[in-house]
Structure 1
Amino acid sequence: MELFVISEEPEYSVQVSSHNVEKGGTITDHIRKETTSLVLQGLLIGPQASNYKQRLVKAMNEGKLLQYTGRNMMLNCVITSLRTAHNNSIANGMTFTMSLKQVNIVQPAYSKLPPKKKAAVKPKSRSGKRNTSYRPVPETHTARPGQSLMDIARYFGIPESMIRIANNVIERTAKPFVEGAKLLLGLSKKKKKKTMPSGGGGGGKQYMQDR
């Protein structure tokens, strides 16, 4: 867009931080440079004057980045204010006063996070815990060389008296059995169920009691 500019007024400024001190004047400890501003005065004339005005207002409202080139140059600037004057001296246009301000463009810096590491999980075992202290007791046992009645009872974890009763051994003895002798371990005997006779013939009631 071409503008008819009459004057350009650039402004350069800094911001000074001052503090009062006891028994003295003020001290300055910090100076910060302000961004450059530029004030333009000119004319918008011709059949496109109203259109140019609307375009400038839209660029200001949207904060659009502009570039101005004239007696002075300003890159990356925005319109901060626009004022127009309409009088009888200009029949086909208007005068304008526009303020530009330079802005600093900063690119945001992003740092990629490291990929998430999956925690090492030990696979579950389906076998479960095994009881190594349990040893199944068979009904019979074949005597091994040097095994006594006490040794067999301790090996299977059963009372010694149970083995003596099952094999008709009356006296306790530490003498080993003959190798290859088969011994009952006292687990093959089954209890007989007791039945209660029905009273008064076949038509009477029967009762069973759990023990």
Structure 2
Amino acid sequence: MAKLGDVIIHVEKENLQSSVNATEYGVEQGEPFTDHIEKKPDIVSLSVYLIGEDHKTRMEKLKGYQRIGKLVKYVGRSAVDNVVILDISRDYTAEIMNGVAVSVVLRKVRIAKSPWVKAPPKKKPSVKPPTKGGEKKPTQKKTRPSPATYHTVKPGDTYWGLSKRYGSSIQQLRTWNKYPDRSIPINVKLRVK
């Protein structure tokens, strides 16, 4: 006796097949070379009898597993998790009066698990918090940035001299104005604050 999903079956023969694919590249002389081995999924072939008055119901259940691609567990001489039913072949003979002989082919499936997890939905409060109706909310005064200050360049003005006069750093003056230190044009307005 064995079990496929939640269907009880009588297994006559069980064949577990493990195989690999090996790439093959031909060469001019000698053996071809291989640079990659890839494991193929395990295949389980079963020769099964479904015997009893409910054999048709169990057969329909197995066909349902196959149709929807349900992952099931097979437990017989060997146990294999996460298998899908690839093929079901029925054999009606006079030797079996109260059932059917069935060949079943199973394949092991590996399930990819995603590291992504959906966040749980946010819970809404069941009771609304009390409102402060009629109360005047305090307003915050918006602070405006101080207006920029400009200086008209005269002969002899430098970033160093302007930084001492207005209190801004030389680097900040360079960033605001984009003129090289040694060639600041005369009569140009420079931002100094």
Same fold (TM over 0.5): yes
Match of 1:39 in 2: 45
| Alignment partner of 1:4 out of 10, 13, 16 | 10
Matched, 1:89 2:107: no
**Runs (4+) off by over 4 Å:** none
Partner of 1:161: none
1:55 partner SS: helix
Q: Which runs of 5+ in 1 are unaligned?
A: 113-122, 126-211
Give the aligned partner of residue 109 of structure 2.
103
Counterpart AA for 1:42? V
1:25 deviation in Å? 3.1
Residue 62 (str. 1) matches residue 68 (str. 2): yes
Aligned to 2:58: 52
Q: Extract unaligned runs of 5+ from structure 2.
A: 1-6, 119-141, 145-193
Pairing 1:1-211 to 2, within 5 Å after superposition? 1-110=7-116
How far 1:89 sits from its partner (Å)? 1.1
Q: Deviations over 1:13-63 (max 9, x none)?
A: 001001012344310110011111100112111111000110001100100
TM-score, scaled relative to structure 1: 0.51
Please say which structure displays the higher CA radius of gyration. Answer: 1
Alpha-carbon deviations, 1:133-168, whole Å to 9, x = none? xxxxxxxxxxxxxxxxxxxxxxxxxxxxxxxxxxxx
Cα RMSD between the aligned structures?
1.9
1:111 CA displacement = 8.3
SS of the residue 1:101 aligns to: strand
Calculate percent identity across the aligned residue pairs: 29
TM-score relative to the length of structure 2:
0.55
Inter-CA distance 55–23: structure 2 relative to 1 (3 Å threshold): same
- Partners of 1:71 and 1:45 lie apart in 2 by 19
